[in-house]
Structures are given as structure tokens and as C-alpha cells.
Structure 1
Amino acid sequence: MADPFQHGSQNLPPDPAPEPHRFHFEKGEILLLSSLMLLIVIGNILPRLFPDKPAYRLQVSRTESTKNLPTVNWLATPVPETIRPRDLNQASRGDLIALPGIGPSMAESILAFREEKGSFSSVEELDLVPGVGESKLKMLKKYLFVDPPSGPAPASTPNTVPINSAGGVPAGSNSSPADSIIDLNTATLDQLLTLPGVGQVYAQRILQHRQRIGRFKSWNDLLAVPGIGAKRLENLRRYATIR
């Protein structure tokens, strides 16, 4: 038997295509977006309408211990901190670490050298500290200084020979410039302590090594003294002699 619905279904039009999904905002979402846009517009218009108004600042609640502190504008561009020059003989570990190129290890070396020697007579003596080279010394001179010793000038010692403006010994003096140079083979502890870069520890080591070998025959003998390297040896050769 023929299907009575088959003939009729052939004449029906095809089903329409489904409608595309359309996104729509809820009432609450529309209200929220409108509020945000209004705030953005107001934030851009107000500074133009009132250019003389002070900049807005983030306020921090004050306590009794902080009420006298100045107000900080947290939105302002940070200003680089200016490094104040410091006295090398008074600088603390923190002061030294704050300097460019000086870390904790270098600061400890500088303090150890200062403690051993007593004080720095000039910033140039930093060149004797292990790890301080010519370039780093040049940079440190911008931030460090050494105050001259206060009080009356020290009295002349037998090892001191006055030098005139021409660089020579004044007339009538029986001493020569060579007589004022300390001989490491005869120097006492006090005389060694007058040498730049030589503190109590190094002076004792030099005397002990001299006693052990009898006398210094050449500058290379000093390299056997613990802690004396090429740089410190070069400094000793400027101010002392071996006879």
C-alpha cells in the first residue's frame, strides 16, 4: 500500500536555517559599563577644566611615631639618591656598601685594612687593598675623602730631613735624603709603622721574617712575608730601602 504522507511531504518547503546566536548585555552589565565609561570621561576632563589643582596623592594613615614624617607623593617619578661624600676613616660597613662597585666582601677588606693600619692617610692608599684596582680607585675618589689630622704638626724625628723648595737638602745640613729612608734591615717596629700601608700586623710579620732569615738580601725576600704581594711590595719600595 502506498504511504499517504509520502506524496504530500515531497511538496513541503525545506526547514528554514537556524537564527544566529546574538550576544546581548544584561541590564546590570549595561549599567556597569556606562559607569566605567563615565568615570573615564570625567578623569580626562577634570584635569583640563582645573589645571591649577594640586596632584592627587595617596594618603597614608599616621600613627604617633610617624605623624611628623613628611608626606610622600607615591605617584611621583623617583629621584635618584645623591651619594654624599664620606670620610674614609669614619665610613661604616653600610656606608661603603652603598657606594657603586663596593659589595660586602670589598667593604670588609677595606675595614680590615683600616683596622690593621689604624687609619688611611689618603684615599690613594685604597690601592693597597686587595681587589681595588686603578679604575675602582678612580671611581671611589668621587665619594670618599680623608680629613687631615687635627692638632699641631708632629715634631721632627731623627729620620726626617727637611727639603727646601728646590727639592734638595738645605745648606748646612749634614744629612742627605737617603738618610731619611727607612732601612728594612735595621728598622724598628715604630719606624715600620710610619710607612704608608704598614700596620701593626704587617710590621710584626716583617720583623719576624727578618729575624728568621737574618737580614733581607733583596726585595724578593719580602714576598715570603704573609700578606705581602706585588702591590704592597711596590708600595714599600717607594718609602723604604734594603741596605
Structure 2
Amino acid sequence: MGQTPSSVTSGKKMSRMERQTSFRVLLRRSMKKKAKLSHTFSLPPSNDSGCSAEYPELMNVNTATEEQLMTLPAVNRQLAREIVRHRQMIGGFKRVDDLALVSGLGAEKLELLRPEICIKKQLSRTSSCTQSLDSVRTNGESRLYSINSSSIFQLQCVPGLNQEIAANIVDYRNKKGPFKSLDDLIKVRGMDNIKLLTAKQHLSLELRKFESMQALNGHVNDWPELSPFLSNISMNRSIPKSRFSFPKLPNGYASAPVDDILELLSAYSHRPLLEDLFTYERHGVRCCRLASWNLHQLSLDKIKNPGVREVVCLTILENKFSLIAIQDVIDVGALKEICDELNCAGLRRVREWKSNSRNWRCYRPASHRESLGFIYDAGDQITVEAVDEPSEAIRRLLDEVAGLTSERFTAVAQAFAICRHPVVVVNVHCFERLTDEDCKHIQRVTELSRELNLQLTVVGDFRTWDNVESLKTCESLIDEDVVTTINTKHIGRSSILCPGTIDKSNFNRHSGAVRSGLCHLAIPRDWSWGGPASPFCPVWAELNVPD
């Protein structure tokens, strides 16, 4: 008698979890008998608060200040600040599990906090009057926003401006150039004298370095002029988040830093679980993965979208591609942007990827064929280097490819040294059905490689399977039933070919197409979000490079 259910062991030794549960029950019962509460806790106003009146010691994370949050287990000032910032960004937590998305919290800390916290959507009478010193300091800070570099997210926070006018300002700036006077804002569609008078005291013409980068835009894939609202969002890589101060929006919540918004979009963008863990070895033989990817109108504007950049970089890293042939490159600098992100990442997911050599390089031939290029890893696991001074035999083969001219396809060849083994890669992009004459020209290249005893592979987007089959002297490592497009709207057939037969080549018959993890919530899809980085899937094949 007198024993609580949690204290009865029935002859068995209690587990650690049972002892912790028992301790919490006893603690709560003892707390109910005491009238004194810590001054850091908010007193629940009524029984319908969402925090149970039976346990008044539970902290409401929707109303708690930074100082109050710091009384919780494993919560320091930085984590408390992140909880408050995330709460303001999403308009309040709806359930305890939402705290898992707070930067620096994670599942383990959440389990420690779960017995101590609760969720209540309404604002508490006490917490509305109790602000932390940091909250007062942040809300009290003010600065001028530059109309020549601020994003739509920032301009819409200026008194007198809404999202539509902010988007029109950015659109006007992109078309006409920087504003020379604040009074020129009257020329922007939707602006009037009253709005201009209200907004002018919060604006300046000064260019700010951390606001100058375009991050999200409507020129992604084939969606031109999607919306002026998406044309310019700033993204900072070097200035700490604590340096930013954001005014309050009309709904009472502080406007969220763009980095936090992108972080939230990234957290909800699915990344695949890899079934085959590739270790640069197959059956005891060292090998590497060659890949081909049509990135569909790859421009500087497109690759500056953080969603596109994250998808491209993570797809390369997750699948451990050593050499990637890229098709449909509009701007040469876009390849360098990809390498810069891989080498010195600004995106958290890319930065935290452990098995990254951070020694990526790009190559584009110095010719008119600017739509084709290569990205390769010059790291330690599998070293890939572009051959600047090829041998006479390789030079003869490269000259033969340079002579391929047609309106139906474009092709470029480059010699690489993969772990000191020379390999000539021919990058092809077909636009129409190949003629018999086109096929003869390409077959002449493959026959010459066998005559010179050189390792050659033909990769790229051949548009249709008929074009792949028409190259009689080559065998495809990608089967016909492998789908290499995301939807039926776009026509494409990416493949990797080897001269002769696969059995007589250095390829080990392991190949595939990547079809998951190609979408991101920061990429437009028609008039919604969650689009793909490209409508075409990357394909890959493994090439043996024995010691």
C-alpha cells in the first residue's frame, strides 16, 4: 500500500527510462503541492491555454522569452535565440515536433526538452509584457534599405511599400539600371506621392555588399518571366546572422532573414537514401564514375538560384561522380559557379558533406561550342586532370572530333588523365534525328580510337533512342528501358557509349540514371514551387582504372 504504479517493480529491476518517468511523475506531483514558481515561467491564464492546467510547470515555447528558454536543459543563449527567430519566421509553433527544424536543436535535444515544454497558440498575458533585452535591442535597431541592392523581401518591410510595389521596384531596377535619385521611385508602377513620402525616410541609394547577390529568380529551366516577385532575393555568405536587423511586418512578427527562409525550404526538400554505397572500388578493382547531365539552359541566373545549386552539387557528391559532361550550357561562368560551390560552399548541406575533396575544376573548349563543358574532381580518391599537352595519337583523335560539323548535333572532345590513365571523352548534344552521314562521321571517330588503341567514350544527350541505335560501332551502357527525363514534356535520351562491345572495354557494366533528389522547394515549377533543377536526369557508368 502507498506505492505508486511507477514505483512497483513486480520483482524486476526498473530500466533507466522507467526511473526517469517515475522521477518526472513524482516531480510534477510535488510541484502541484507547492505555490511557488520560478520567476522565469509564464503563469497560464486559463485552463483552455493549450498547456494543460494540470502541469503548470510546463513552459509555453510560443510565448517564452530568450531568458526563459535558457532555463531549459541544454539550451544556451544562441539556441534560445534561434528558437525565437524560427518562431517569428513561421508565426508560432503548432506542435512540439516543429522544434526539430530549429537550427542547432535536433532530435536528441528535443527529447530532453519534450517533458518540460508545451505549445499554446494564443499570446500569454505575461509574455506579451516580458521581452528579452536582445529582443528589445533587435527591434530598436534601424537602418536604411538601399533601393539599388535590397531584395523584394527587404523592400516589402519598408513602411509605405507592399510586396507588389517592392517587386515593381526590383523589376524597374533590373530593366532601367540603378536609381539615381529617391524621387525616381515615383516612376515605379503602383507608387504615389503619399507612399513615396512615407518610404523615403527608410531608403537610400547606397549599394550594400551583402545585398547584391541574386538568389531566387524566375529564369529557371524554361519558365521565363515567371513573376517579378521572384526576381531578386539577397543571400549573404560572410556576415553573421546576428548582424542583421529586420523591422516588423504588419502581422506583428519580425521579417525573417532570407538565409533562414532558404534553410527552411532546404530542410523540406527531399534528399534520397542511397541504396548502393559506392567506394571507388568494384570487385577489388579501383573504378570511377563518369556521368552526363543535360542541365537545360544552364545560365548564371539559373545557377544562382540556391535550390538549383544545391540540387546539382549534392547530386554530384552523393553519387560520387568524378567526371561530368554537361550539355546545354548558356553561360560559361555557370560551370565555374558550380565548382566554386563545391570547393567553398555557401549552402549548409553542401558545406557539411564530408567526403568532398573540394578540388573541383571545370573545362570548356576554346571554340564556338559553348553549350558543352566538363566538371571534374582533381581530388585524392580518384584524380582527374585535363590533358593540356596530348600525345600525337590523342591529338589526331581530337582533331577528328573537331571536324564534326552538323546542324543536327554538336560535339566536342577532351582528353583526361584519370589516375594517370588517358581517356578521351566525346561530349555530344543532338537536336534532331541523325542522318546516315552524321552517323558515319561519328563512327569514324570510334574506329580511329580502336585503331590507335585509345580509351574513348561518347557521352551526352542523344535526344532519342533511335540516334543511339544508329551508331552501330558503339554499345550503350544505359539500357533502352531506363528513363532519362523527369516528365514527358521534354524529349531527351542521355546515354554513355563505348566503342565496340562493353566486354572488351574498361567499363564494368555498372551504370544507372539518377531520378530522385532532383527537385527543390526554392525552384519554380510552372506557377508553383518544388521544381527540378533540370527536366533531364544525369546518367552514369563505372570505368575501371586499375593500379
Larger radius of gyration: 1
More helix by share: 1
TM bin (shorter chain): 0.3 to 0.5
Higher relative contact order (CA 8 A, sep 6+): 1
More strand by share: 2
- TM (norm. structure 2) is 0.17
